[in-house]
Amino acid sequence: MTAAAQARRRRSESELDIVCFERGEFTSYSACGIPYLVGDVVHDPQALVARSPEEHRRAGIDVRTRHEVVAVDVDARTVRVRSLAGGTETTEDFDQLVLATGATPVRPSLPGIDADGVFGVQTLAEGIALRAAVDAPRGSHAVVVGGGYIGLELAEALVLRGMTVALVEARSQPMPTLDPDVGALVADALRDVGVELHLEEPIEGFETEAGMVRGVRTANQVLPADLVVLGLGVRPASELAAAAGLAVGATGGIVVDDHQRASADGVFAAGDCVETFHRVSRRPVTIALGTHANKQGRVVGINVTGGDTTFPGVVGTAVSKICKYEVARTGLTEREAADAGFTVVAATVDAQTRAAYYPGTRPIRVKLVAERGTGRVLGGQIVSEEGAAKRIDVVALAVWNEMPVDDLLNADLGYAPPLSPLWDPVLVAARRVVALLGAARPSPSPRRDRPRTSSPRAPRR
Ligand SMILES: Cc1cc2nc3c(=O)[nH]c(=O)nc-3n(C[C@H](O)[C@H](O)[C@H](O)COP(=O)(O)OP(=O)(O)OC[C@H]3O[C@@H](n4cnc5c(N)ncnc54)[C@H](O)[C@@H]3O)c2cc1C
């Protein structure tokens, strides 16, 4: 819908017809808000809807909800559309096509997985159904399967609603997108609010009774469950594209160039269904995030209407609130950097969020990863009760601009006692990495070599 709205802004209804097929009932909603709807932090599902189908229609976009595209014929320039209300199928022509089919949640074919009481949280309709089950619970035991950020946000939401929550994760830590020294804090925070963690315990199936879920069977035990939430990750929904003969990469995402053009003329793709370029690992990746989807949608909306703009890739920035912590990462973790072939230096520091004497200061853990030799910042992870999510943006820009860590160390970041210590925790981590790198290297950045007498450049108008 971002692509459609952008295209509509650039072309009037007399110049361009825009038709959107959506198999669900909602458009332009924040899936990111589902955990807060379930946790009753947000009370009304409509609050998550930024633009309803009616609002899009009023803006000149012909949205047809409950319509599923079942086939694409790139040569004939047609799509086959099934009406989910009546079951009838029609063929619609197109000059240009935008595929934005999103992601499909992983749902292993385990015994009992289709029982009542086993919920996904990919769509708003699923979020509403889960909330209804929590509003009128059959019992007090909930099990969340999967320790990624969505599983963790949902575990916290269920605790907030008074349920006894167990979280089952096949790997050795929740939030496996963090290095273990930072991820350990997240595990502690979950335990602090009473989430029972079962790590390195892959699930084997679900116990049921009269079609209702009653338990989750792991390699070690059966956990009682009146309600189960699946948070096992997603994969790109690229089947429609693949069946149409469009290139799909080894990641499972639709292959697009930097203009979001797929492998056939006049066909674009954006969002969770595509693979995108990781600017640090230089590899194609699929990362299902609304931040990327919206930016790519804007690029498509411009290019589909004759513009010329690009999506330059991602550096893997992600933030989340897990119990008392803001959890943030960008670039590559130490483990990912090593996998990508970098020789790295990494430092983890424990600092404070405010001046030591200022009331309310909280501990903050910052990890920075840099390339040995060049000193280039490759990634960072930050966990704290305050100030982690915004501090990671500084590191994200350093990663984005391939900044050497000694430049980051000298970056002119703000300081006032209620807001940060004099040495911001990010700079403390940078200082530690510089020390590890052997420091005192001349910076490769020409900006630092500018003569002191040079006068500031006049602002461009
Ligand atoms: C619980 C949850 C929390 C999240 N939290 C965050 C967060 O905090 N930050 C963040 O950046 N991201 C977050 N995300 C991810 C973010 O929501 C997605 O990355 C984003 O919605 C992707 O947008 P999209 O348009 O590519 O896909 P979607 O929003 O999934 O839209 C795809 C649409 O295509 C429709 N569709 C698919 N196939 C067809 C077809 N054949 N015919 C017709 N319609 C079809 C689907 O019904 C769907 O409505 C979260 C996601 C979830 C589920």
Q: For residue 238, report the distance from its CA to the centre of ligand 1, in Å.
A: 13
Can you tell me which atom of ligand 1 is nearest the CA of 122? 53
Residues with CB under 6 A from ligand 1: 21-24, 31-32, 34-35, 68-69, 100-103, 121-122, 150, 237, 240, 271-272, 288-291, 293
Looking from the CA of residue 29, the nearest atom of ligand 1 is 29
With 0.85 as the threshold, say if the pTM is over it: yes
Indicate which residue's Cα is closest to atom 46 of ligand 1. 101
Test site for ligand 1: of 80, 98, 289, 329, most ligand atoms within 8 A of the Cβ: 289
215-271 pLDDT, tens digit per residue, is 999 989 999 999 999 999 999 999 999 999 999 999 999 999 999 999 999 999 999
Rounded to whole angstroms, the Cα distance separating 399 from 330 reads: 8
pLDDT at 219 (0 to 100): 87
**Dihedral sign from CA coordinates of 141, 144, 147, 150:** negative
Distance 123 CA to ligand 1 centre (A): 7
In the structure encoding, which two tokens stand for residue 116, read together?
Answer: 């009542």
CA-288 nearest atom, ligand 1: 19
Query: Which residues have a Cβ under 8 Å from the Cβ of 278 and sit 6 or more positions away?
Result: 284, 285, 313, 314, 315, 316
The whole-angstrom separation of Cα 287 and Cα 259 is 18
Nearest to 157 by CA among 31, 46, 41, 320: 41
Name the closest-CA residue to atom 5, ligand 1: 32
The one-letter amino acid at 3: A
Mutate to test the pocket of ligand 1, among 23, 30, 92, 329 (most ligand atoms within 8 A of CB): 23
Token code pair at residue 224: 């009682």
- Pocket perturbation via mutation, ligand 1, pick of 30, 101, 107, 152 by most ligand atoms within 8 A of CB: 101
Amino acid at site 48: L
Q: Which positions ≥6 away from 156 have C-beta within 8 Å?
A: 35, 39, 190, 193, 195, 322, 323
Cα–Cα distance, 206 to 115 (Å, whole number)? 8
pLDDT at position 438 is 86
Residues known to be catalytic = 32
pLDDT digits (tens, 9 = 90+) for 77-103: 999 999 999 899 999 999 999 999 999
Of 209, 213, 203, 227, the closest CA to residue 114 belongs to: 213
If we measure between CA atoms, which residue out of 162, 192, 160 comes closest to residue 174? 192
Q: How many angstroms is it from 174 CA to the middle of ligand 1?
A: 23
Give me the pLDDT at residue 443, please: 54
Q: How far is ligand 1, taken at its centre, from the CA of residue 120, in Å?
A: 13
Q: Which atom of ligand 1 is nearest to the CA of 123?
A: 53
Please say whether the beta carbons of 275 and 285 come within 8 A: yes
Low-confidence ranges of the chain (pLDDT < 70): 439-461
Contact (CB, 8 A) for 241 and 269 = yes
Residue with CA closest to ligand 1 atom 41: 69
How far, in Å, from the CA of 291 to the mean position of ligand 1? Answer: 11
**Residue 374 to residue 92: CA distance in whole angstroms:** 54
